[in-house]
Amino acid sequence: MLKNKIAVITGGTRGIGFAIAEAFLKNGAKVAVLGSRQETVDKALEKLAAENPEWEVIGFCPDLTDYNAVEACFNEIKNKFGKIDILVNNAGISAREPIEQYDPLAFKNIMDLNVTAVFNGCKAVVPMMKEIGGGSIINTSSMVSKFGQPSGSGYPASKFAVNGLTQSLARELGKFNIRVNAVAPGVTRTDMVAALPEEMVARVAAGIPMGRVGEPEEVANAFLFLASDMASYVSGTILYVDGATVN
């Protein structure tokens, strides 16, 4: 589905991002995986090479909240692979603090990574996509971008912002054949979920119409569809992959 395509995946070292990297590589793309630390990037590259030594995958760890660092990194990827067709903005952090305990600096940090870094990635990749006549940007939202959540308000606020960026940029960039969509996962079995108390996960699963949390591979398939030419007329969509939790 992605033969001859070059993809950049932020937060590609574990969880949903790693599953997206695997899905894209299996489908013929060359991939640049971005992580927060060189050590985790190296570990992810080793894991992918062990799965299939033929896969073409490189890794970097720019500060995604710094536009100049993102632009320099994307230029390096373009120099190595020749172009960028697909950008997946997936790196993200969550929060659970009630408002009175919520450190304003933590609120700023969540906005910096979950929103500003998405803006930075989009801004840096758009001229490259225009140059090659189009591309696909896929942002990572969340099911909480529909109704919010009862604590940790910075997280849903950041994902509402991701939806706003996605729908606005889809309208701005449609004429350049650049599609901009978001995937909004429900509760998915990654480190973010593993950090929650087991009873909380069970309570959450019981409230999901499909009766279980999602697997990273199931979420990755939605990214694969939106990245591919099968979604050639899909733009501005927030695709909920949540076992019918909020949809």
Q: Dig out the tokens for 148 from the structure.
A: 């919010």
Stretch that binds ligand NAD, among 32-40, 163-171, 201-209, 232-240 (CB under 6 A): 32-40
Instruction: Choose among 79, 9, 77, 69: nearest CA to 44.
Output: 9
Residue 15 touches ligand NAD, criterion: CB under 6 A: yes
Active site residue 155: yes
Residue 196 touches ligand NAD, criterion: CB under 6 A: no
Q: Smallest gap, in angstroms, from Cβ of residue 180 to ligand NAD?
A: 16
Q: Smallest gap, in angstroms, from Cβ of residue 112 to ligand NAD?
A: 8
Stretch that binds ligand NAD, among 13-21, 45-53, 164-172, 224-232 (CB under 6 A): 13-21
CA–CA separation, 223 vs 131, rounded Å? Answer: 23
Q: Which residues contact 185 (CB under 8 A, 6 or more apart)?
A: 16, 140, 141, 142, 143, 214, 219, 241, 242
Q: Smallest gap, in angstroms, from Cβ of residue 177 to ligand NAD?
A: 26
Q: Which amino acid is at 66?
A: D
Residue 35 touches ligand NAD, criterion: CB under 6 A: yes
Stretch that binds ligand NAD, among 74-82, 174-182, 183-191, 203-211 (CB under 6 A): 183-191
Q: What mask, x for binding ligand NAD by CB under 6 A, covers residues 82 to 111?
A: --------xxxxx-----------------
Catalytic-role residue among 67, 102, 155, 233: 155
Residue 120 touches ligand NAD, criterion: CB under 6 A: no
Stretch that binds ligand NAD, among 52-60, 126-134, 146-154, 188-196 (CB under 6 A): 188-196
Long-range Cβ contacts of 99-105 (<8 Å, 24+ apart): 99/153, 102/152, 102/153, 102/154
Q: What is the DSSP letter of 215?
A: P
Round to the nearest angstrom and report the end-to-end CA distance of the chain.
27
CA–CA separation, 143 vs 161, rounded Å? Answer: 13
CA–CA separation, 152 vs 242, rounded Å? Answer: 20
138-157: b (≥16 Cβ within 10 Å) or e? bbbbbbbbbeebeebbbbbb
User: Binding ligand NAD by CB under 6 A: which of 59, 154, 185, 243?
Assistant: 185
Q: Which residues are catalytic?
A: 155
Q: Applying CB under 6 A, which residues contact ligand NAD?
A: 11-17, 35-36, 40, 64, 90-94, 113, 140, 142, 185, 187-188, 190-193
